[in-house]
Amino acid sequence: MKKTLILLCMLFLAGTLYAQTTVPSSNENYIYTKNYLDYPASGDPKVSETVQYFDKLGRPKQLINVKATPQGKDLVTPIDYDELGRQVDSWLPSPMNTLNGAIQSGVNSNATNYYGDNFPFTHKNIEASPIERTLSNVQPGQAWQNHPVSFKYQANILDDHVARFVTITTVTDNTTYSKVVWENEYAVNQLYKSVVTDEDGNKVVQFTNGSGNIILLRKISQDDENADTYYVYNEFNQLAYIIPPKAIMDFFNAYGTGSNVEVPEFILNDLCYQYHYDGVNRLVEKKLPGKGWQYMVYDKQNRLVLAQDANLGAAKQWMFTKYDQFSRIVYKGIYTSAQAYGSQGRVFEQNATNTFTNNNTLRQAFIGFNNAGMEVYYPANTTYPTVNFKLLSVNYYDTYPPYSFNPAPSANAVTDNIADANNTKGLGLLTLIKNIENDNWTKSYSYYDMKGREIGTFSINHLGGYTSTESVLDFSGAVKQTIVKHKRLNSDTERIIKETFEYDSQNRLLVHKHKVDNNTEEVLTQNTYNEISQLSSKKVGGAGISNPLQTIDYQYNIRGWMTKINDPDNLVNGKLFGYSIKYQNPANTETYAIFNGNISEIDWKTQSDNILRRYGFSYDTLNRLAFGRFTTPGATVIENNFYNEWVNYDIGGNIRSLGRYQKSYNNQPLLIDNLTYTYTGNRLISVKDNSGNYSGYPDSSGNTIGYDLNGNMTDQKDRGILDIDYNHLDLADKFTFDQTYVVKDLFLGDLIKNVTTQYLYRSDGVKLNKKYTYGVGKNTTESSTVTDYLDGFQYEVQGNTTQIFPPVLKFIPTAEGYYNFENNKYVYNYSDHLGNVRLSYTNNGTGGVQVIEENNYYPFGLKHRGYNDGVGNPSYQYKYNGKELQEESGMYDYGARMYMPEIGRWGVLDPLAEKMTRLNPYNYAFDNPVNFIDPDGREGAGWGYRNGAWVFLPGMQQGDEEYTKRGFTDFRPDGSVVDNVVITNSSEQNTGHTYLGFNGEAKYVTHGSFLGIAIPLTGGWGNPGVGTGTGTIAGTGAGLSLLTILASAVAIWTLHGDAAVDTPADEPEDLNNLYLYRNMRSVGGLPELGNSLNTLGIRNKDMSNNIFGEIKADTDYVYGSSGMGMSVTPGYGNVVPVVEFATPKTTLFRIKATDVYRSGLGINVDKINHANITPVGRIMLQQFRTQIQATAPLWKPVR
């Protein structure tokens, strides 16, 4: 067998080395990797190449990305060690004249010259002990050398005053119920204590017990006031309570002089997280602060079948989910029970579910039932619940069901013939989604190419029209062309949107073109990159390559942080907008330098009046924004303090007071808001404006705010909102207004009397329609504006009680703004680092530029008034964070919640509140809106830097629990663009310009990877305009994208000397040839997956190095983003990789990678010969085990 392998390798290499120009140094140990990015029918293939050199001890010493820079230079990263063999300096990569892969000399001095800084590396100080703990990290750049992140490792002392909370737990109906009691304080040396001090001296202290459980996370405020979050475990070592800082303060203020005191129920209900478990460690009841109890019911496969919150419970309703034999969701809906809301009702439903041993719903060839106007090819009564339910969504896999409304697809989806009948086994093919407020449905189809990649979709909307998409992908999966066809109604004229994308040799996006119908094609962007692949310039707009409307330049500091969008001090060559971001280098002497990544100052200038404006920011020690100082440096007429905003918080992050100024008619700063807030728990009860000014928050303030059982705000009488109704997703679907309340300052130019606003949603939360009803002035006739949101196409229908006008297609968004269908013009947006739309412009028809709107904002999002407003487009209301303003309510719609910029809060409890338990669930963007955004109203997320890699942690802030737990040294919020990113710690390393996106998705241009990126940096660090790959950075920083490692056309392991090597024999063309191998016991020819999953194939010592800690119980969470999962060995084609082969007790099995993905699982590869099968997202261990077990029939014995 070994001889055969060698022969195959030789034949394969003979073909690939024919045109080989890369020649690594022959006297060095190295690994040479070649990735094919595209394989055109004519011409040379597009490739990326890396050479990793090793020293004589097998340690990496230099990484070369061959000819990877835009100018064709090598990108070289040196790897040095100290006298003890430790890598204490992590150098940034730098470009050097190519040597065709040969090892480079003088790399360190070259890096110093390129970055213009004597410290182009991160330095790590390590304690002199066998465990080599990190004592401090110093980030790249001269400015950071005296501002390290430091780490201390201690035991608790008497002055720490760590409270000892214990539980008294009883078990009733197989469920744990606990009381929490404060006993006293922990004795000295009973807890591990770690202290992390950031670059600005802010401290976070974490205390853990001997079992590794976090007991206390403490943040120190500037008043030496501890913001303490306690974690309390019951007698079964299950997390029973989380007690946030405000609850701790309220408790000790009332009971701090005693001991053995039970925490009262009102504090627990208003401010704490409470959890109950059943006898098999499943979470069955929970209560979040300010929200009613939630209940969960599972089937015998440990899958969540029923879920109920307090609003559903009031109607005796449950959300139900049904699964097939592979644990794929087949349909969901709302079930009405006869049982009352509460624990007893849950127990009844759990017992009823337990009677179904096999709770799988199997696809059938005939119609099983009809519900909510939809025929379903699944049975209704073979799984629980069997009756009294209403469908919300249905999913079909493997084959398309024979519905009469199935579209007749065109013969070709751009390039692939639909009639080829590719194998769709395991693929999601059709999803039916019902509207919440009525029984109309959206039907969405997916089509795939031979490689199982989605190349087409067809969605029939709830009005009967459709939107279809067709995509052309290159060899690596980068999008080369998309065609979108759309109709609102099936009888309407079809609109066609065509987009094309051009890339350079390393798949960096160069040109993005856009065409609407038969109109002239528009060049949206032409991108230029610097030598480390940072976007340095972008030409925007224009019908030709040589005539852009704007050229936008970008600058970055040594940390990879953006510092400029154009130069506000030098707006030349017709540039309309300049924006500068400062961190450690503010210009205003009254503003402190900040080193921990928070922004200290922003400058901006527009051509509208050519006045430089500035905000200087200050923060408290909990990284919350305290003050935004507005100045106009160098202006002829000084306007300092005209738009100041200042905020004060309680210990739990609730805003206690907020003030802001506005420019007055006599050119003086005018106090428009002097707000004081009143709370019950975290619920805002009233806001009082003491300024007496209507601008900003209304002067008719102080009214009591109501809430429903789920903690949703149900009115805001200060703004004339009498009632807010919510659907089962806690989305506001109706606003009822006080018609005696007069709304001022709306774009219609008259006094407005709001009547109602009604929303229509799909059951997956997508907004489809909005109807706003109002009266104008003294006219009693009601008018309405109806907006349809259809796959990005936005329509308006105007009407009144006597007439309804035809619908008008208003616009569709583009990567750089939007296309206005009413005047057939492209409108382009300048956006800042948060995605705030700052200035909109268009072609004036003669080749020039016309500014149509300018928007500037207070830090918490309220728009400035009094200068450079512009007329704008009344139909296009996407402004702060790029979200749509609902003018009648003053709120921004983020998707999952609506935000109130006047008061800096949400009106709805955070759907992901449990990810951020140290904060209250109503505050916006961690109380730090200068550095964070909430992408959709659920969480402000971020990325931590550790051991040379970026790690996604949902809901993370610098200094938080997960940040400090495993030694993170830097932090960036979602949407950041960083550079010089090491994507793996293994011998295979890639570096590149990386967009750290939302929900753990990172897209990047690696210099040794096939993945490309389109970053429309009109938004500063905005969303990619087109996703050109499926790669993510592994959550632990130890994993490459699956395809980055395994889609290599050549991977040559060459060791200097006579060492034995293995070389892959087959050229991996796609995932269909990738297999994952594992040794397991065989029972009846199937792998015994369950018994081999005590720690999911990962040893405890491996898990202890994971940022989320060791898996100990079925209720512990497994995080797909962290790379956690079941160990496997990857291999291509019929070549079995080197693994620990079967013993007499085990059998070597393998599974296709495509089958893993089709089973709803992911794959994380952390080195050439090792991978993990992972969950998608965050899931309990027991649920992940069930998912893994469901794959058993897909594993095939090898030997």
Instruction: Name which of 3-12, 26-35, 675-684 the model is least confident about.
Output: 3-12
In whole angstroms, give the CA distance from residue 1190 to residue 359.
13
The mean per-residue pLDDT over the stretch 768-779 comes to 85
What is the amino acid identity at position 531? E
Query: With contact defined as beta carbons under 8 Å apart, do 816 and 834 qualify?
Result: no
pLDDT at 1048 over 60: no
Instruction: Name which of 631-645, 860-874, 953-967 the model is least confident about.
Output: 953-967
Q: How confident is the model at residue 427 (pLDDT cuts 50, 70, 90)?
A: very high
pLDDT at 314 over 80: yes
The mean per-residue pLDDT over the stretch 843-849 comes to 90
Q: How confident is the model at residue 39 (pLDDT cuts 50, 70, 90)?
A: confident
The pTM score is 0.81
The mean per-residue pLDDT over the stretch 105-109 comes to 97
**What pLDDT sits at residue 1023?**
26
**What SS3 string covers 1124-1161?**
CCEEEEEEECCCCCCCCCCCCCCEEEEEEHHHHHHCCC
Question: How do residues 804-813 score in pLDDT, each as one tens digit?
Answer: 999 999 999 9
In whole angstroms, give the CA distance from residue 740 to residue 430.
48
Q: Is 1145 left (phi over 0), alpha (psi -120 to 50) or beta?
A: alpha
Q: How confident is the model at residue 330 (pLDDT cuts 50, 70, 90)?
A: very high
Instruction: Name which of 151-160, 322-331, 482-491, 687-696 the model is least confident about.
Output: 687-696
Please report where in the chains the tokens 């040589």 appear, as a residue: 546
Among 940, 858, 857, 965, smallest CA distance to 196 is for 965
In whole angstroms, give the CA distance from residue 893 to residue 730.
13
Instruction: Name which of 497-506, 781-790, 1136-1145 the model is least confident about.
Output: 1136-1145
Q: How confident is the model at residue 1193 (pLDDT cuts 50, 70, 90)?
A: confident
Residue 259, both tokens: 């001991």
Q: What is the DSSP letter of 837?
A: E
**What pLDDT sits at residue 1170?**
74
Between CA 805 and CA 815, with CA 811 as vertex, the angle to 5 degrees is 170
Contact residues for 38 (Cβ-Cβ < 8 A; gap 6+): 45, 46, 474, 475, 476, 478
pLDDT at 868 over 50: yes
Query: With contact defined as beta carbons under 8 Å apart, do 1013 and 509 qualify?
Result: yes
DSSP 614-641: EEEEEE-TTS-EEEEEEE-TT-SS--TT
Answer with the residue of higher pLDDT: 1018 or 166.
166
**What pLDDT sits at residue 410?**
59
Among 1054, 1068, 1057, 1059, smallest CA distance to 1165 is for 1068
Q: How confident is the model at residue 743 (pLDDT cuts 50, 70, 90)?
A: low
The mean per-residue pLDDT over the stretch 77-88 comes to 95
**What pLDDT sits at residue 103?**
97
Query: With contact defined as beta carbons under 8 Å apart, do 309 and 291 qualify?
Result: yes
**What pLDDT sits at residue 1189?**
80
Q: How confident is the model at residue 1116 (pLDDT cuts 50, 70, 90)?
A: low
Q: Give the count of alpha carbons within 13 A of 290, CB side only.
A: 28
pLDDT at 540 over 70: yes
pLDDT at 746 over 60: no
Residue 335, both tokens: 């079930």
**What pLDDT sits at residue 1093?**
44
* Torsion angles phi and psi, residue 607, rounded to 5: -75, -5
What is the amino acid identity at position 668? Q
In whole angstroms, give the CA distance from residue 1113 to residue 1109.
12
Contact residues for 731 (Cβ-Cβ < 8 A; gap 6+): 759, 761, 765, 896
In whole angstroms, give the CA distance from residue 331 to residue 693.
52
**What pLDDT sits at residue 1095?**
47
pLDDT at 88 over 50: yes
Residue 956, both tokens: 């993370």
pLDDT at 126 over 70: yes
Residue 565, both tokens: 């969008």
Question: How do residues 920-937 score in pLDDT, each as one tens digit?
Answer: 899 999 999 999 988 886
In whole angstroms, give the CA distance from residue 534 to residue 978.
8
Cis peptide bond N-terminal to 385, omega within 30: yes
DSSP 864-892: P-SSS-----TT--B-GGGPEEETTTTEE
Q: What is the DSSP letter of 278?
A: B
pLDDT at 978 over 60: no
- Give SS3 for 168: strand
Q: How confident is the model at residue 944 (pLDDT cuts 50, 70, 90)?
A: low
Question: How do residues 43-55 score in pLDDT, each as one tens digit?
Answer: 788 999 999 999 9
Q: What percent of the chain has pLDDT over 70?
A: 80
The mean per-residue pLDDT over the stretch 1017-1022 comes to 27
**What pLDDT sits at residue 1003?**
42
Instruction: Name which of 550-559, 914-923, 1057-1066 the model is least confident about.
Output: 1057-1066
**What pLDDT sits at residue 1137?**
62
Q: Work out the number of other CB atoms within 10 angstroms of the CB of residue 1151.
A: 23
What is the amino acid identity at position 946? R
Residue 785, both tokens: 């504006």
- Give SS3 for 59: coil
pLDDT at 624 over 90: yes
Contact residues for 156 (Cβ-Cβ < 8 A; gap 6+): 162, 186, 188, 189, 190, 191, 192, 193, 207
Between CA 447 and CA 459, with CA 453 as vertex, the angle to 5 degrees is 30
In whole angstroms, give the CA distance from residue 76 to residue 433.
50
Q: How confident is the model at residue 428 (pLDDT cuts 50, 70, 90)?
A: very high
The mean per-residue pLDDT over the stretch 821-844 comes to 97
